[in-house]
């Protein structure tokens, strides 16, 4: 009995074991099926994620391009710094111009000079419009024209190229390298007009080419030039010019020490040179000093420059010598085209001019200086009128001397006269107000002391005699209203 019960128990346990094994196998199969289904869903969701990621990348690319376009549009949108300026990569284009209106009075000494050009006058001294910019390949350009007396004349018109650092090549129509005063923009000179020798020695723009090197302390430039812009086809006049400037800075003082040289050959179709100068400001066409036309084929000019800028104070000046290679009676050839009535000088005349000046900003500014061209530059107004300040206020004084007297044109030759030439010493005082960087109002007084020249005898009531023994004074006052952009 007991054995039968044990057998039955053993059989029951075996049956139960077999049943558990089948259930376990069934459970594993179900789990495996669920895992496969889960993996399929994961793979499906991964594909959806990759698809979404691709869409996001595509949208990011579109947004990036849109941002680039927006940035480009922002770059193309004109900046405004007194005038609109457009930029697109290496391309830049800017409109520029200036306007100067002069009003004033030039005294008629002893009321002896019979012309209506003396006395009160007002004139548009400059009305200029132009463009400037850059191009790919390190090129730059400028083109400006002056509008006056119902005429249009080219001012600066040139192309520049800077193939290496600190070196600039230029071709076109522009000022050669005669001095500090002449190539400095009329927007930045100290007085209403440049020093007398720039007008007296016929310093002006010419067609030509040049190379310049400039770093923080040194400026060197030289070029070969033809005549100015014209329609003549026999334009064989030429000018060789060079200028060097050393411009170190000692503590807070900017120094400028320079020299210039030019050798000029006159056009063979008219071998004559005339040296003369108008008063400062130029509110009249009367020249109190005037050599008349001298038969000449060349001249040579040497200039020295020295300036210092220390905070609101600047001081300095220039000296300039000019030697004329005159054509004497024995030098005249059959092919020489000498102007009718020209002076056949008794030797080679020479002339000398210089000026000394000083200026001070009462409002704390320092005079602008540009080392890349060794010239005066724009003065930055510290407290402009539009920001509640007084603007920049400065006072300047200048002694300016031009001596065109020389015995070679006054005696001993053909058509010589003591009334040729003359010496002009001018003391000028001015007050400049710059309410903002681009507006300038200048009031100036000049006292001229003239000795000799074409009007010396007449002003002193004489009809004959040596004009160089007679002198007279001339008072000139003027105000200029100017803006530029």
pTM over 0.85: no
Task: Answer yes or no: is pLDDT of 379 > 50.
Answer: yes
Per-residue pLDDT band at 75 (split at 50, 70, 90): low
Please report, for residues 5, 167, 238, 350, the alpha-carbon distance to residue 170 in angstroms, rounded to integers and kept in the order given: 124, 10, 17, 32
Tokens of 294: 């001298």
Query: Quick one: average pLDDT of 201-210?
Result: 96
Please indicate whether residue 232 or residue 168 has the higher confidence score (pLDDT).
168
Q: What pLDDT score does 116 carry?
A: 84
Please give the pLDDT value at position 246: 98
Report the range of poorest mean pLDDT among 25-34, 44-53, 244-253, 281-290: 25-34
Q: For residue 119, what pLDDT is reported? A: 96
User: Does residue 32 surpass a pLDDT of 80?
Assistant: no
Structure confidence by residue, pLDDT tens digits, 9-26: 444 445 444 444 455 455
Q: What tens digit of pLDDT does each residue of 309-336 get?
A: 999 999 999 999 999 999 998 888 888 8
Longest dimension (CA), the chain: 179
Q: Which residues of 300-326 are buried (b: 16+ CB within 10 A; e: fewer)?
A: ebebbbbbebeebebebbbbbbbebbb
Structure-model confidence comparison of residues 3 and 421, the more confident one: 421
Cis peptide before 281 (omega within 30 of 0): yes
Please tell me the distance from the alpha carbon of residue 176 to that of residue 209, in angstroms, as a whole number: 9
Residue 217 pLDDT class (50, 70, 90 cuts): very high
Which range scores top for mean pLDDT: 49-58, 73-82, 475-484? 475-484
Rounded Cα gap, residues 144 and 157, in angstroms:
6
Give Cα 109 to chain centroid, integer Å. 38
Neighbours of 348 (CB within 10 A): 17
- Cβ–Cβ under 8 Å, residues 392 and 368: no
**pLDDT for residue 45:** 76
**Residue 135, phi-psi category: left (phi > 0), alpha (psi -120 to 50), beta (remainder):** beta
User: What are the backbone dihedrals phi and psi of residue 241, each rounded to the nearest 5 degrees, phi first?
Assistant: -135, 150
pLDDT at 417 over 60: yes
For 459, half-sphere exposure in the C-beta direction (CA atoms, 13 angstrom radius) is: 24
| Mean pLDDT value of segment 216-240 | 91
Range in 66-75, 311-320, 386-395 with the lowest mean pLDDT? 66-75
| Selected residue with higher pLDDT from 156 and 34 | 156
Per-residue model confidence as pLDDT tens digits over 457-484:
999 999 999 999 999 999 999 999 999 9
Average of pLDDT values for 400-419? Answer: 97
Tell me the CA distances in angstroms from 485 to 338, 374, 470, one per residue in order: 44, 22, 46
Does residue 286 register a pLDDT over 50? yes
The mean of the pLDDT values for the chain is: 91
Say if CB 188 and CB 374 are below 8 A apart: no
State CA 428 to chain mean position distance.
Answer: 25
* Confidence band for 1, pLDDT divided at 50, 70 and 90: very low
User: Given a cut of 60, is residue 216 above it in pLDDT?
Assistant: yes
**pLDDT beyond 90 at 5:** no
C-alpha 214/C-alpha 222 separation (Å) is 12
**pLDDT tens-digit profile of 394-406?**
999 999 999 999 9
Backbone angles phi, psi at 215, to 5 degrees: -130, -160
pLDDT at 296 over 80: yes
CA distance 429 to 149: 29
Answer whether residue 340 shows pLDDT above 60: yes
> What is each CA distance from 176 to 238, 319, 444, in whole angstroms?
11, 17, 28
Residue 170 has pLDDT above 50, yes or no: yes
d(CA 59, CA 37): 33
Quick one: average pLDDT of 269-296? Answer: 96
Mean pLDDT on 295-300 = 97
């Amino acid at each position: 009995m007991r054995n039968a019960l044990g057998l039955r128990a053993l059989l029951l346990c075996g049956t139960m074991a077999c049943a558990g094994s089948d259930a376990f196998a069934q459970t594993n199969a179900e789990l495996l099926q669920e895992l496969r289904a889960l993996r399929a869903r994961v793979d499906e969701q991964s594909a959806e994620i990759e698809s979404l990621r691709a869409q996001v990348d595509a949208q990011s690319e579109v947004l990036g391009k849109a941002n680039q376009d927006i940035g480009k549009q922002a770059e193309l949108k004109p900046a405004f710094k007194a005038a609109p300026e457009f930029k697109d990569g290496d391309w830049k284009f800017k409109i520029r111009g200036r306007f100067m209106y002069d009003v004033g009075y030039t005294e008629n000494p002893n009321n002896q000079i019979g012309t209506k050009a003396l006395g009160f006058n007002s004139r548009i001294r400059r009305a200029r419009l132009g463009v400037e910019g850059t191009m790919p390949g390190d090129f730059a350009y400028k083109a400006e024209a002056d509008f006056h007396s119902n005429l249009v004349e080219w001012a600066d018109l040139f192309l520049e190229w800077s193939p290496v650092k600190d070196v600039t090549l230029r071709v076109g129509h522009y000022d050669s390298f005669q001095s500090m005063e002449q190539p400095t923009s009329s927007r930045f000179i100290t007085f209403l007009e440049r020093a007398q020798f720039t007008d007296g020695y016929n310093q002006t723009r010419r067609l030509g080419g040049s190379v310049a090197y400039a770093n923080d302390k040194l400026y060197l430039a030289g070029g070969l030039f033809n005549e100015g812009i014209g329609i003549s086809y026999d334009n064989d006049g030429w000018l060789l010019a060079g200028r060097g400037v050393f411009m170190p800075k000692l503590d807070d003082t900017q120094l400028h020490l320079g020299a210039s040289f030019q050798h000029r050959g006159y056009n063979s179709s008219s071998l004559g040179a005339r040296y003369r100068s108008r008063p400062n400001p130029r509110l009249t066409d009367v020249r109190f000093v005037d050599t008349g036309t001298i038969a000449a084929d060349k001249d040579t000019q040497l200039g020295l420059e020295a300036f210092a800028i220390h905070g609101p104070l600047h001081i300095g000046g220039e000296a300039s010598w000019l030697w004329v290679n005159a054509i004497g009676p024995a030098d005249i050839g059959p092919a020489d085209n000498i102007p009718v009535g020209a002076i056949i000088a008794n030797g080679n005349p020479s002339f000398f001019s210089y000026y000394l000046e000083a200026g001070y900003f009462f409002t704390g500014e320092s005079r602008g200086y540009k080392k890349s061209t060794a010239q005066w530059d724009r003065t930055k107004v510290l407290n402009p009128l539009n920001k509640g300040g007084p603007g920049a206020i400065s006072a300047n004084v200048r002694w300016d001397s031009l001596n065109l007297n020389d015995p070679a044109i006054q005696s001993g030759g053909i058509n010589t006269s003591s009334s040729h030439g003359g010496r002009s010493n001018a003391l000028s005082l001015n007050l400049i107000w710059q309410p903002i960087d681009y507006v300038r109002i200048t009031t100036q007084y000049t006292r001229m002391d003239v000795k000799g020249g074409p009007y010396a005898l007449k002003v002193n009531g004489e009809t004959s005699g040596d004009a160089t023994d007679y002198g007279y004074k001339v008072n000139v006052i003027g105000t200029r209203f100017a803006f530029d952009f």
